[in-house]
Structure formats: C-alpha cells, structure tokens
Amino acid sequence: MSFDKLGLSAEILRAVTEGGYSKATPVQQQAIPVILEGRDVMAGAQTGTGKTAAFTLPLLQRLNSQPQDKQHRVVRALILTPTRELAVQVHESVCTYGKHLPLKSTVIYGGVNIASQIKKLRQGVDIVVATPGRLLDHLGQKTLDLSNVEILTLDEADRILDMGFIRDVRRIIGFLPRQRQNLLFFATFSNEIKELANGLLNSPALIEVARRNTAAESVTQIIHPVDRARKRELISFLIGSKNWKQVLIFTRTKHGANRLSQQLERDGLSASAIHGNKSQGARTKALANFKSGTVRVLVATDVASRGLNIDQLPHVVNFELPALPEDYIHRIGRTGRAGNEGEAISLVCVDELKLLSDIEKLLKKTIPQVIVPDYEPDPSIQPAPIRNKTNRGKSSSQPKREHKYRGR
C-alpha cells in the first residue's frame, strides 16, 4: 500500500517521498490510520519493520492539524526511548518527516551538557524525544513542563522495562495530563508489557504484524559451536575468509567489547567498541565511522542492540550469547531491516548451551548449527559458570551440566 492512501497530509507525503519511500510497511499500514483517529495503540512488530515512521508520521499530522501560538510553544508530544542512540535516531526521523511543517522538536539524553538542552527547551518546542533519566533531571530542575502533552509514545517499551526504567516511567507519567493519547511500541511481548499496557492504555487498538517474540524472517540465523578460547580466532577467520566489509559484533560486557576490538585491530581488522562507559561523543564517532566504512567491525554491548539503524547491515555476530533471550531478538534485528536480507551468526561455547536453549524456547524453533572445519569444539572441556549482571539487575549463573552439541 502506498503512503498516499493512509490519510497523511501533502506536506508529510512530500517529506516521505523525498526520503525515498513509496510503500508503507505492514505496521505502518495498520498503525497510521488508528493513530490518526486519536486511539491508543499497543503495537508489537519485529525490529526493522518501520515502527518509527508508524508513530512519527501520524503524530506529526495530529499536532500540525491543531497548530499553536508559535511565540508560546508548549510540549505537546513526548517520545520516550531506552537509549541515547535510539533517542537520536527517533529525533532524526521526526526532523526528516516534519521538515515541511512548522513544528519544532528537540532530543534530551544523558552524558552531555544539560545547559544546551535547557536553552533549546526555553526557546519552545512541540515535541520532545527523551531517555527517562535525563528527562527526570529536567523535571526536577523545572526546566520542562509536560502538563500540555497530548500524545505519549513509548518506543521499545520492552527494552525500557528490561533496563529497569519502569519506576522512572511511572514518575514521568505523573507529570502528564490524564487526557492524552498513548502509543506503546515493543518488539518482544512479556507479562511486564501486558501489565504496563493495562495501566497506561485506554481501549487500545492491538497491532501485531508478526508472531510474538520472533526474529525477522529476512534474517538467516546460524550457530557455530566453538571453544570459548578460540572464538576470537574464529571470528577473525570468518571476517577475513568471507571478506565481510561491515560486521556488528555483540559481547556481554563492556570490558569484553574493548578487549575484542583491540584484538581484532591486532589481527589487521579496523574495529571500534561502543558501550555505556563510552562518552556520547565517542559513541557517535564510532557509529559514524562504522556507517561510512572507515571502521569495518563495530563491537557493542546490548546498549547498542536497540537504536542502531544501519542501512543494509549484512552481518550481526553474537560473540557471546546474551543473558536474556529477548536481547537475542533485539541484537539480530539490526540486520535484515526494511526488507533487506541479513545474516546473524552466534559463536556458542559449551558454557552457553543453557542460554541457547532459552533463546530457542523463546523463538519456538531450533537454530541450525554448522561446525567450521578446524574449529571443532573439544568434547573434554567442561562448562564453566557464566556470571554477569543482566539488564534487570539479576545475576545470571549457569551451573555445570552434561553438554552435547547437535550435529552439523
């Protein structure tokens, strides 16, 4: 279906066309009309299916249909995201699709000076895109008034919950007027999402464009069993022998991301790391270099599994499986976006077989395994516990157990 059949204004359609888009994705086809009607929405869709445009386009149109005094602008729409990267990219979409409209917007996140954000807010904006923590800083300093918000959007709501922001979200909601439109977008469904929706939404339209908790069908998934000590050697071999030009690799820890990027550099592969301890400037630079091709490999923690929107990214590698199975879906959703084909490869050692089992239970499918010649796992190696903090703040530990890899 083309965008011009969805009830969007000429100014927005012009911006969409200039962005190179003509046909709406399924989630856009379903979400845009009901949002334009003013209904609350609960939308579940795989990553890379156009969720951002599904809420930004009708949001812009609804605000523009009732213009306010340009000299006394008040915040009328609030979009909450779990990470800085996602906040920046959502704001870019707002600016792109709203460039022919008289609406103003700004983005608010931590890790940067708050003074410039305060200055922008004082100048007056219609739309604020924000991460919860920094938004609460502004509310605490009374540099932001949310009493006129007409539309609240929670983007990647499942990740917001996973990262422990639910209390922050509830505090923020307390600053909003009771009469408003609420839009809840998520990639993986859980009891927590259901509970949040029950308390937030009013007779919502339920939109599901794919079976719950599934990875994008355009992503080919494969497991390479390998010993823990040989993972770095194998990933260097795969990148070099297959001549991969752009690879996003996920690790579980910040230290692991730094270490792997340094090791890959020593192997002759240009690499950068991106994680929560990096400054926003360093993260932005690393991502820009990766997108431009200056850096061949980007090594990231799960802070980057949401919000990274890289056109036609061909390869995602799980150097280590995530502690939470839902994060596997978010990670591999960085490839196979907007109808493009993608490949998600996971290097799995004996320590991670329980994590793999949990992922396959969530997906309700078995991921094919292929042993790379000369990298066969040593059957005598016993599993060691995996101990690290999950996003919910709980410790993950895998006990010793019998282990068996499936055949080729």
Q: List all residues 6 or more positions away from 404 whose beta carbon is below 8 Å from its beta carbon.
A: none
* 397, pLDDT greater than 60: no
What share of the chain in percent tops pLDDT 70?
87
139 & 241 share domain: no
Domain assignment of residue 28, yes or no: yes
The sign of the CA dihedral 220, 226, 232, 233 is negative
Task: List the Cα angle 265/299/52 in 5-degree steps.
Answer: 145
Quickly state the pLDDT bin for 191 (edges 50, 70, 90): confident
303 & 383 share domain: yes
DSSP reduced 3-state for 194: helix
241 & 152 share domain: no
Domain assignment of residue 290, yes or no: yes
How, if at all, do strands 271-274 and 77-80 pair?
Answer: unpaired
Helices of type H across 247-392 = 254-266, 280-292, 325-332, 353-363
Cα separation, 273 vs 362, in Å, equals 29
Across the range 60-71, mean pLDDT stands at: 83
Give the residue with greater pLDDT, 401 vs 287. Answer: 287
* 336, pLDDT greater than 80: no
Give residue-wise pLDDT tens across range 211-247: 555 555 668 899 999 999 999 999 999 999 999 989 9
Q: Count CB neighbours of 198 within 10 A.
A: 10
* 31, pLDDT greater than 60: yes
Domain assignment of residue 94, yes or no: yes
Residue 82 belongs to a domain with what CATH number? 3.40.50.300
Give residue-wise pLDDT tens across range 121-134: 999 999 999 999 99
Domain membership of residue 7 as a residue range: 3-208
Domain assignment of residue 44, yes or no: yes
Domain assignment of residue 406, yes or no: no
0.75 surpassed by pTM: no
384 & 241 share domain: yes
Helix-, strand-, coil-residue percentages of the chain, each rounded to 5:
40, 15, 45
167 & 45 share domain: yes
What b/e sequence results for 367-406 when a residue is b if at least 16 CB atoms lie within 10 Å of its CB, and e otherwise? bebebeeebebeeeeebeebeeeebeeeebebeeeebebe
Domain assignment of residue 241, yes or no: yes
Cα separation, 403 vs 381, in Å, equals 10
373 & 233 share domain: yes
Domain assignment of residue 249, yes or no: yes
Among residues 160, 184, 208, the one where a domain terminates is: 208
Which residue is listed with tokens 């306010």? 68
Contact 316, 331 (CB under 8 A): yes
Across the range 133-154, mean pLDDT stands at: 96
Nearest in space to 239 (alpha carbons), one of 314, 330, 176: 314
Domain assignment of residue 408, yes or no: no
Q: How many domains does the chain have?
A: 2
228 & 179 share domain: no
183 & 236 share domain: no
Cα separation, 391 vs 332, in Å, equals 17
Task: List the Cα angle 220/359/376 in 5-degree steps.
Answer: 70
203 & 228 share domain: no
